[in-house]
């Protein structure tokens, strides 16, 4: 299996928490890891929220299985959109491919106590202090 395939499978289905039917997953952008994660998670009955910089790509992620889509260019505060779509609860699992540029909003998008899989570093940013939101949210980040 390619690095992309192995990474998507590993982040979704292996320790510490496997994605299961009924869970809500957040994916970022339309790269290889995210597109495969959308397909695998939706195939087992999870709800997927996918983001992209382009509406035309979001039409494709819907075809791949995403239930909800967010254009992260139009919604700079996309975490607020994630919280709106999940009735303020947040998602069970984030496949985090942006790194420094997305991690703060990924943490905010995640339910108390749930999981962020650290996969990539596509988005640069100013330094962000994520310690309080990780600690007080009881959230787990796992590197892949
Ligand atoms: N740890 C591992 O085992 C492993 C394995 C494979 C890959 N990776 C890493 O994981 C990351 C993803 O890999 P990939 O192969 O899927 O990458 P890719 O195919 O190059 O992904 C490119 C896409 O990422 C999206 N993106 C860029 N900046 C973004 C941002 N700020 N917010 C949301 N989406 C953004 C864009 O989607 P839109 O055009 O839709 O906006 C872009 O088209 C990379 O950093 C790669 O190095 C890690």
Cα of 31 to ligand 1 centre, how many Å?
5
Residue 118 has a pLDDT of 95
Q: What is the pLDDT of residues 17-33, one digit of tens each?
A: 899 999 999 999 999 99
- Mean pLDDT (whole number) for 53-64: 98
The mean per-residue pLDDT over the stretch 34-49 comes to 98
Q: Give the count of beta carbons closer than 10 Å to the beta carbon of residue 43.
A: 10
Which residue's entry shows tokens 């310690």? 131
The pLDDT tens digits for 79-112 are 999 999 999 999 999 999 999 999 999 999 999 9
Which of 3, 12, 33 is the pocket-test mutation for ligand 1 (most atoms within 8 Å of CB)?
33
Report domain extents, the chain: 3-143
Residue 118, CA distances (Å) to 33, 64, 94, 98, 136 in order: 12, 22, 8, 9, 19
Topology of domain 3-143 in CATH is Rossmann fold (3.40.50)
3-class DSSP state of 57: helix
Confidence of residue 59 (pLDDT cuts 50, 70, 90): very high
Q: Which of 51, 46, 49, 62 is nearest to 13 (CA)?
A: 46
């Amino acid at each position: 299996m390619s690095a992309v395939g192995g990474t998507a499978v590993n982040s979704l289905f292996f320790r510490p928490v496997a994605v299961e039917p009924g869970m809500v997953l957040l994916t970022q952008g339309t790269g290889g890891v995210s597109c495969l994660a959308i397909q695998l998670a939706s195939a087992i009955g999870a709800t997927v929220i996918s983001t992209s910089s382009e509406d035309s790509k979001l039409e494709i992620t819907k075809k791949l299985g995403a239930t909800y889509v967010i254009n992260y260019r139009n919604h700079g505060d996309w975490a607020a959109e994630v919280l709106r779509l999940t009735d303020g609860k947040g998602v069970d699992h984030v496949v985090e491919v942006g790194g420094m540029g997305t991690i703060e909003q990924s943490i905010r998008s995640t339910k108390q106590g749930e999981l962020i899989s650290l996969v990539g570093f596509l988005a640069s940013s100013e330094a962000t202090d994520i310690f309080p939101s990780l600690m007080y949210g009881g959230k787990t980040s796992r590197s892949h």
